[in-house]
Structure 1
Amino acid sequence: MLYGNFKKSAQHIDKMLNAQSREEVLKNRMWLKATIEIVRFLALQGIGFRGHDESSSSLNRGNFIEVLKCKAEGNDELSSVILDNAPQNAQYIAPSIQKEVLHILANRVRKMICDEIAGGKYCILVDEAQDESNTEQLALVLRYVKHDGLLMERFFAIEGVENTSVVTLKDAICVTLGRFDLSIQNLRVQGYDGASNMRGEWNGLQALFLKDCPFAYYVHCFAHRLQLALVAAAKDEMNIWQFFSHLTCIVNLVASSPKRLAELKSFQRDEIACMLSTGEREYDKGANQIGTLHRARATRWSSHYDSVKDLIDMYNASCRGTGRHFQQPDHITVEHQYHFDIFNSAIDLQLMELEHRFNNEVVELLTLSSALDPSDSFKSFNVEKICNLAEKFYPWDFTGQDVKTLKFQLMHYQLDVSSDPKFQNISSLTDLSRELVVSKKFEYYALVDRLIRLVLTLPVSTTTTERAFSGMKRVKTAIRSKIGDEFLADYCTGKLAEVTGVVPDDTLSLSSVTEATTFFKKLLKAKREGIGALGGGKAGIN
C-alpha cells in the first residue's frame, strides 16, 4: 500500500504542501482585495474607519468591519476567510493594517502624479489652515501638463507644521517634493494667497524659492485679486459701504430669528400666490421657489450679487417681515446719485485698487501670454509678443538660439493652424495643447508646444487648495479630532484623488483677466474725456 501511495505523485508531500500553499495564497488575495476596496471606498467617501466598540459582541463594530460583513453576505468564499472564520492571530482588521493599506494607496497616487509630470515643469499651489485640533496644516497642489497635453491640478499632500513661518513652510514643501524626486529647478510658478508671509518680496516664502529657482514666478490668485479690488473699492465708497452694511443688517435681522425667517417665507409664499393669480408670474418647473436671504461674503464677490438679488426678489416680503422701508433723500435726482456720487467714485477707487494689486510685471506677463490665446480664430496671436514672452520670462527654458528658432516656428505655426479646420473652434489654451498632441503637430512646433505648456502652469485661481481644506474638514471632524497627520494626509489623498485632476477650460482665462485689468482704465479715460458710456452732461439738483 505504501508503494501504491508512493506511485501516486499527487499525494507526495511536496505536492500536497504546494496545493495547500496555493489555496492559502488565493484566500489571502481574496481578503486583501476586499480590504483594499473597502479602504478605498471609505477614504473616497470621507467616512471614518473605526467604531466606538469593535468587539465581536458589539451591535455596531465600526464602518470598516460592518462594510466588510456586508460585502461578505452572499459570498461564501469571502465569508469563510474573514473575521471569526479567520485565524485569531491573522484577522488583519487592526487599525494599523487599515492605515498601512491606505498609506500604500496614497503613495501609489503620488507616484502616479510624479510619473505624469515626468521631469516636466510644474506649479505649486499652497495654502495653510487650522484643522479641528487647531494644528496648522499645509495643503500642496501640483499643476502641470501631461505628455498627452492635458492640463492637470492634483492634490498632492497635506502636511502638519508647527508654525507658519516662511522657513518652516519652505522646509515642509521641499521635504515633500524631495521625497518623490520632484526637482525644485523644474518649479516655474508659485501660487499662494496674499498673506504677508507668502508674498513678501524680501523675506516671504516666494522670495526664498526665488533664491533657489529665479524663474519660479509668484502668482497671487488672479480671481482673488479682482475680488479684493472690488471689495476694497466697495468699502472705500461710503454709499456702497452703507448699502452693504444695511443689507447685512437686514439679513442678520431675519436670519437670526426662526420666527422672522418663518414670517418672511410666509409673506413670500402669499406674494408669489398673488402674482401667479394675477398673471405677473408664470408657472414653470423650478420657478417660484420659496427662498431666503443670504449673507454677502468678503472673499466671494458673486455672493454680494446673490445677496442683492435675493433682496430684490423678496423686497416686499422683507419690508413686511422687518417693518422697515428705505428711501433716498428727495432733493437729489436719481441720475446724480448713481452717476456722479456713486458710479464715478466707485470706478476711480476700483482703478486705484487694480493699479495697486496688479503690478506692471504681472500685467505684462498676462498680456504677453494672451498672445497665445486661440479664441476667435487666433485673433490675439502676435509673433513678437510671444517671442518677447519666451525671452524675458523663460530664459532658463529658451536660449537665444531657441528664441530665434521659435520665431520661425511661429510663422509657420500661424499659417498652419489658422487653415486647419481642427483648430478653428478651439477657444482655450487647454484645448489647444491637447489638439497639438492629438494632431501630432507638437512634433513640428516643439518650441511652441513647450511655451504653451509653461504658460498653462500659470494658475488663474487657487481654488483647488480651498477644496483640499474643505475635504480635510469633512475628514477631521470634532468626533475624529485625534487623527494623526500622516493618516490625515493619506486619507485626504485618497478622498481628493477622484475630485482633482483634469482642469477644464478656466472660468476666468488669462485673456479675460487681462481684459478685466484694462477695462476700468478705459472707463476712467472715457470719463475724464467726457465720452462713451460715462459721457458728459450735468445732473440737475432739485
Structure 2
Amino acid sequence: MKSKTIDSFFKKKSTETTQSPSEASQIEVPYSSSVPLNSDARPSKIPRVEDEALGLSNLEREPGLRCAFRGHDESSGSKNRGNFLELLSLLSSYDEKVEDVLKSAPQNASYTSSTIQKEILQIYASKVRNVIREEIGDRKFSIIVDEARDESKKEQMVIILRFVDEQGQVKERFFDIVHVKDTASLNLKNVIFNVLLQHSFDIQNIRGQGYDGASNMRGEFSGLQALILNDCRYAYYVHCFTHRLHLALVAAAREVVKVHQFFKDLSDIVNIASASSKRRDELQKAQAAEITRLVSINELATGTGMNQIGTLQRPDMNAQYVVGCSRNKKEDVTVEHHYRVDIFFATIDTQLQELKSRFNENVVELLTLTTALDPKEFFKLFDIDKICILVNKFYPEDFSQQEKERLSYELKHYELDVCTHPDLRKISTLSELCRSLVESGKSVMYPLVDRLIRLILTLPVSTASSERAFSAMKIVKTRLRNKMEDDFLRSSLVVYIEKEIAEKFDVNEIIDDFSKVKDRRVQFK
C-alpha cells in the first residue's frame, strides 16, 4: 500500500473519489444502523480502524507532542476542545471515512476520553518495562538514582538501571520516575525496592549504586547508599566522578583567597555589564573605540578575516610584585613567584586535598584493582594477582570456591591467548573488550573472566543518564501541561525516553492488550 503524500492527504473530500483503489485509505468504518448513537447496548464486533498510510506512528510514541494534549472544556459547543479532539476534527474534515467513524461510534464507546488515552499509554509503558526486565533477566545490575523538581514543584525521583546485555553491550535503561513526598533516606530506599520488587527483580543482584552526592543519599551511616549496602553487601556506592570533580574544583576556588576573589570580581563585572542594556551598549561602544585606537597606533594588526592581536606588552615575570597597600607589601616576591607559588601551587594543593577527602578508600581500591583488566596499551596493566584479589575481596559471592581456584589458571591461558591476539590487543576500552569477547566466541572459552568484566562494567561511573531523564521530563511536562498526573508522567517518560523499544511494538498488539485489560463496550476484531 502506497503512503499518502501531504498533498494527497489534504485534498477536499469531493476530490477523494478520484483516487485509485491502491491509494485509497484502508480505514474500515465501524458503522451499524441497528445501533443508535446514544444507545448503551453493546454492538456486534467492530472492525479496527487502521490507516498506516497516514503515517501517525509518531503520535503513539510522542505523548502529547510536547504540547497540551487535552482541553479544559471538551464539550461539543466549546471553541477549543483541546489539541487531541481538534486534531481528530481536522482529520475528519479532510477524510470522509474518519468522519463516518467519529459520527457512527456510540457516545458511550467513542474511546476518545482522557481515561482511554491513559490506559493505552500505560499499556505501552508496561510493555517497555517488560522488555527491559527480560533484557536484564537474572544478570547483575546497578541502580542510578537522582531527584529533581518538575514543573509542578513536585519532587520526582528517577530510577535508571545499568547492566551488560547478552551481547556484551553496556546499557543504561530508564525504568521509572516516582513522586516522593518524603525525601528521607529510608523512604527513598523503600520506594526503590518496591519498584524493583513489583517487577520481580532480585535485590541481591544489585552490584552498584550511583548518586549525585546529595547528603540524604551519600551519607556514610544513615544515607541511602548505607541503607542499601546493609541489605545488599556488594552494592558498592560510586559517587558520580564528574560531580565529585566539580565539587573539588569549587572547594579549591573557595579556599584559595586570590582565586575566590578573582571569580567574585569576574562575576560582579559580568552582572554589572549585563544588567542594563544601556550599560552594555556603552561598553561595546567603548570597546570599539579602544580597538580603533590600538589599530591606529599599530598595537593591533588588522588581518583579512578579523582583527588579530599582533603585539602585546608582556610583563617582566622577574619584576617585584607589589600589592595595593604598603603594609601588605612582601619583600623580594617576584611576579612569577606570586602566581606560581602563592596561587598555582596553593590551588593544586587544595584540589588534591579535596579529591583525597571525597574518594572513599574502599571504592578507590576497587577501581584500582579493576585496571588490571584494562586492555589499554596492549594490556599493559594486566596483573593476575590483582585480579584474584579483586575477586576474593569485592566479589566473593559471585564466584564459588572452585571457580576462584580455577580463575588463576584461566587467566594464564587468557594472557597467552587474548592479550597477544592481533585484533583484541588493539582494543582500548573494557566495554569494547567485552563486546569483542562475545563476538569472537572467547567469552565461552573464558567464562570466569567474562563474568568478572561484566561485573566491573556494571559499576556506575556517572549520573548523566538521570540528568538526561530530567531534561526529557522538562520536555514532556511543560508549563502548559503542569497539571499532568504522576502516572501519566511516568508512562509518558518511559515511552518517550525508551522509544527505541516502544517503536518495535505493533499497533495490533496494543489493541489486543487494551481489549484484554477489562470488558469493553465494543468488541474489537
The answer to whether the superposition gives a TM-score over 0.5 is yes
Does residue 145 of structure 2 align to residue 123 of structure 1?
no
- Aligned equivalent of 1:160: 179
CA distance in 2, matches of 1:435, 1:132: 44
Does residue 43 of structure 2 align to residue 42 of structure 1?
no
Does residue 128 of structure 2 align to residue 109 of structure 1?
yes
Taking a change above 3 Å as real, the CA distance of residues 272 and 28 of structure 1, as seen in their structure-2 partners, is farther
Taking a change above 3 Å as real, the CA distance of residues 337 and 382 of structure 1, as seen in their structure-2 partners, is same
CA drift at 1:344: 1.2
Question: Partner amino acid for 1:190?
Answer: Q
Does residue 218 of structure 2 align to residue 199 of structure 1?
yes
Structure 2 counterpart SS, 1:191? strand
- Aligned equivalent of 2:241: 222
Structure 2 counterpart SS, 1:134? coil
Question: Partner amino acid for 1:100?
Answer: E
- Aligned equivalent of 1:361: 362
CA drift at 1:263: 4.4
- Aligned equivalent of 1:462: 463
Does residue 84 of structure 2 align to residue 64 of structure 1?
yes
Q: List per-residue Cα deviations over 1:463-503 (Å, max 9, x = no partner).
A: 211222222233333332222211111111122214899xx
- Aligned equivalent of 1:410: 411
Taking a change above 3 Å as real, the CA distance of residues 217 and 71 of structure 1, as seen in their structure-2 partners, is farther
CA drift at 1:235: 0.5
Taking a change above 3 Å as real, the CA distance of residues 447 and 265 of structure 1, as seen in their structure-2 partners, is farther
Q: Is the 8 Å Cα contact of residues 163 and 458 (structure 2) preserved in structure 1?
A: yes
CA drift at 1:450: 0.8
Does residue 160 of structure 2 align to residue 141 of structure 1?
yes
Question: Partner amino acid for 2:370?
Answer: S
CA drift at 1:279: 5.7
Structure 1 counterpart SS, 2:398? coil
The structure 1 residue matched to 2:48, chosen from 9, 18, 27, is: 27
TM-score (norm 1): 0.73
- Aligned equivalent of 1:302: none
CA distance in 1, matches of 2:218, 2:162: 19
Taking a change above 3 Å as real, the CA distance of residues 174 and 141 of structure 1, as seen in their structure-2 partners, is same
- Aligned equivalent of 1:474: 475
CA drift at 1:456: 0.7
CA distance in 1, matches of 2:155, 2:455: 32
- Aligned equivalent of 2:393: 392
CA distance in 2, matches of 1:499, 1:492: 13
Taking a change above 3 Å as real, the CA distance of residues 69 and 407 of structure 1, as seen in their structure-2 partners, is farther
CA distance in 1, matches of 2:380, 2:44: 67
Q: Is the 8 Å Cα contact of residues 128 and 501 (structure 2) preserved in structure 1?
A: no
Q: List per-residue Cα deviations over 1:384-420 (Å, max 9, x = no partner).
A: 1112111111111022322222222222222222333
- Aligned equivalent of 2:489: 488
Q: Is the 8 Å Cα contact of residues 125 and 495 (structure 2) preserved in structure 1?
A: yes
Taking a change above 3 Å as real, the CA distance of residues 411 and 177 of structure 1, as seen in their structure-2 partners, is same
Considering only aligned residues, what root-mean-square deviation do their CA atoms show, in Å? 3.4
CA drift at 1:58: 4.6
- Aligned equivalent of 2:510: none
Structure 2 counterpart SS, 1:153? strand
Taking a change above 3 Å as real, the CA distance of residues 56 and 423 of structure 1, as seen in their structure-2 partners, is farther
Q: Greater helix percent: which structure?
A: 1
Q: Is the 8 Å Cα contact of residues 38 and 67 (structure 1) preserved in structure 2?
A: no
Taking a change above 3 Å as real, the CA distance of residues 134 and 259 of structure 1, as seen in their structure-2 partners, is same
Question: Partner amino acid for 2:465?
Answer: T
Q: List per-residue Cα deviations over 1:137-195 (Å, max 9, x = no partner).
A: 11111111111111111111111122111221111111111111111011010112222
Which has the higher mean CA deviation after the structures are superposed, 72-81 or 45-54? 72-81
Taking a change above 3 Å as real, the CA distance of residues 377 and 240 of structure 1, as seen in their structure-2 partners, is same
CA distance in 2, matches of 1:387, 1:70: 68
CA distance in 1, matches of 2:472, 2:117: 20
Q: Is the 8 Å Cα contact of residues 165 and 197 (structure 1) preserved in structure 2?
A: yes
Q: Is the 8 Å Cα contact of residues 67 and 480 (structure 2) preserved in structure 1?
A: no
CA drift at 1:245: 0.6
Question: Partner amino acid for 1:40?
Answer: R
Q: List per-residue Cα deviations over 1:496-518 (Å, max 9, x = no partner).
A: 214899xxxxxxxxxxxxxxxxx
CA distance in 2, matches of 1:25, 1:268: 74
- Aligned equivalent of 2:515: none
Q: Is the 8 Å Cα contact of residues 145 and 453 (structure 1) preserved in structure 2?
A: yes
Where does structure 1 lack aligned partners over 5 or more consecutive residues?
Answer: 1-16, 289-311, 313-326, 502-542
CA drift at 1:69: 4.9
Which has the higher mean CA deviation after the structures are superposed, 151-160 or 61-70? 61-70
Q: Is the 8 Å Cα contact of residues 476 and 488 (structure 1) preserved in structure 2?
A: yes
Where does structure 2 lack aligned partners over 5 or more consecutive residues?
Answer: 1-31, 36-41, 310-320, 503-525
- Aligned equivalent of 1:183: 202
Figure out how many residues of one structure are paired with residues of the other and give that number. 441
Which residues of 2 match residues 219-368 of structure 1 at below 5 A?
A: 219-264=238-283, 280=302, 283=305, 329=323, 332-368=333-369
Taking a change above 3 Å as real, the CA distance of residues 28 and 166 of structure 1, as seen in their structure-2 partners, is same
Which has the higher mean CA deviation after the structures are superposed, 104-113 or 472-481? 472-481
Q: Is the 8 Å Cα contact of residues 142 and 206 (structure 2) preserved in structure 1?
A: yes
Structure 2 counterpart SS, 1:89? helix
CA distance in 2, matches of 1:406, 1:89: 67
Q: Is the 8 Å Cα contact of residues 42 and 48 (structure 1) preserved in structure 2?
A: no
CA drift at 1:125: 0.6
Q: Is the 8 Å Cα contact of residues 253 and 347 (structure 2) preserved in structure 1?
A: yes
Structure 2 counterpart SS, 1:147? coil
Q: Is the 8 Å Cα contact of residues 210 and 461 (structure 2) preserved in structure 1?
A: no
- Aligned equivalent of 2:450: 449
Taking a change above 3 Å as real, the CA distance of residues 269 and 497 of structure 1, as seen in their structure-2 partners, is farther
Structure 1 counterpart SS, 2:435? helix
